[in-house]
A = this chain, B = another copy of it.
């Protein structure tokens, strides 16, 4: 099948399929004489695997590792589990950071009258305080979320 059909069948856009091929996440697709990429059901299966991993927030590099393990019949499930739990730790770290931001902002907003007067504790705080002193080593990479 052509790339458009593979995209529909897998839920990965044609654009991203080409990108994944270009960056080596997936092997180069076979081509027709005219240069059209062709995909088998197997390929679609793999693309769906990728899409699901992305839905779980794995980065492309994480997916690369997952795919390696997926293809390796002699894999140790411990390796998969380690990968998954490391990702969970990243997610939880990120959640904590966002949570801190949200509660700080909510606290400030609760103190703001929210009327047509200009005085506002939110702006005052931004102006003067050190808002999040404990912001060391933030998990800065959690793919574009």
**Chain A contacts to B: CB under 8 angstroms:** 45, 49, 52-53, 55-57, 66, 69-70, 72-78, 80-82, 84-85, 87-88, 91-92, 94-95, 97-99, 101-102, 104-106, 108-109, 112-120, 122-123, 125-127, 129-132, 135, 140, 142, 144-145
Contact residues in B for A114 (Cβ distance below 8 Å): 77-78, 81-82
Inter-chain contact B102/A85, CB cutoff 8 Å: no
Cβ A56 vs Cβ B145 within 8 A = no
Of B91, B101, B112, the contact of A81 (CB 8 Å cutoff) = B112
In the assembly, what is the distance between CA of A27 and CA of B118, in Å?
23
Q: Is the CB–CB distance between B57 and A98 below 8 Å?
A: yes
Main secondary structure of the interface of A (DSSP, over half): helix
What is the total number of copies of this protein in its complex?
A: 2
**Closest CB of chain B to A77's CB: distance in Å?**
4
Partner among B82, B92, B120, B131 whose Cβ is within 8 Å of the Cβ of A102: B92
Residues of B within 8 Å of A119, CB to CB, are 77
| Contact (Cβ within 8 A) B105 A84 | yes
Partner of A70, one of B94, B117, B123: B123
**A56 proximity list for chain B (CB < 8 A):** 101, 104-105, 126, 131-132
Contact between B126 and A74 (Cβ–Cβ < 8 Å)?
no
What is the CA–CA distance of A81 and B114 in the complex, to the nearest angstrom? 6
Query: B49 contacts A127, CB within 8 Å?
Result: yes
Bound together, the chains give a CA A47 to CA B72 distance in angstroms of 51
